């Protein structure tokens, strides 16, 4: 079995095991749990290929539907249901003693896939539910604003969607516009986001 085929078989085994414990597979590589209409639990299966072995590093987090739609609207991008995490951490951060998830050619893949799914469904889902709230996500985003990576935009969107309109607009005006410190160290996407946000909120003010 070619390496790419084995990697695909590992992915399929893990995704099938997650579906078996209640997760939904929207499409290949897109696994969610519908906590509510606005918040979906999200699972990412980062894989490392090591010859006859594939190591899976699960990431767990949240996909905030309205927030991601707003960010894509302001970025002028097409929204894809559940494709990206709004916020995620490595499963090892909440289960540091859990063994690694390694899949070897020639061995039954289902055992470790089911163990992975159980960990995600138990501790992982508890974590997902704990952050399915804008008031929880806002300080998490704020902590990572200096790293960019979409966090400034998600911070603004979370403020806006949670009713903190003035705070969101002030942050955009002070940090994301053409003279703001974040705009100076980022690519042009932040400027486009900021400009579209200000246009949108101007319409809402009138």
H or E, element range at 30: strand 30-34
Query: Mean pLDDT in runs of 10 for the chain (206 residues)?
Result: 77 98 96 98 93 93 98 96 97 88 93 96 96 98 92 97 96 79 68 92 67
The reported pLDDT for the residue numbered 117 is 97
Helix/strand/coil percentages in the chain, nearest 5: 55, 20, 25
- The residues near 203 (Cβ < 8 Å, ≥ 6 apart) are none
The reported pLDDT for the residue numbered 183 is 64
The candidate with the shortest Cα–Cα distance to 170, out of 133, 140, 139, 197, is 197
């Amino acid at each position: 079995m070619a390496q790419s085929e084995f990697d695909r078989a590992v992915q399929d085994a893990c995704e099938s095991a997650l579906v078996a414990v209640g997760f939904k597979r929207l499409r290949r590589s897109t696994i969610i749990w519908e906590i509510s209409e606005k918040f979906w639990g999200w699972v990412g299966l980062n894989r490392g290929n090591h010859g006859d072995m594939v190591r899976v590093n699960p990431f767990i987090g949240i996909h905030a539907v309205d927030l991601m739609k707003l960010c894509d609207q302001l970025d002028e991008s097409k929204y894809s249901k559940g494709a990206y995490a709004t916020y995620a951490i490595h499963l090892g951060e909440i289960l540091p003693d859990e063994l690694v998830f390694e899949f070897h050619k020639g061995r039954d893949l289902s055992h470790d896939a089911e163990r992975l799914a159980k960990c995600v469904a138990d501790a992982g889902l508890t974590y997902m539910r704990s952050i399915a709230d804008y008031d929880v996500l806002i300080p998490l985003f704020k902590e990572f604003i200096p790293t960019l990576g979409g966090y400034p935009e998600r911070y603004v969107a979370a403020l806006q969607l949670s009713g903190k309109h003035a705070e969101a607009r002030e942050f955009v005006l002070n940090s994301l516009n053409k003279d703001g410190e974040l705009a100076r160290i980022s690519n042009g996407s932040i400027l486009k986001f900021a400009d579209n946000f200000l246009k949108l909120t101007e319409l809402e003010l009138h």
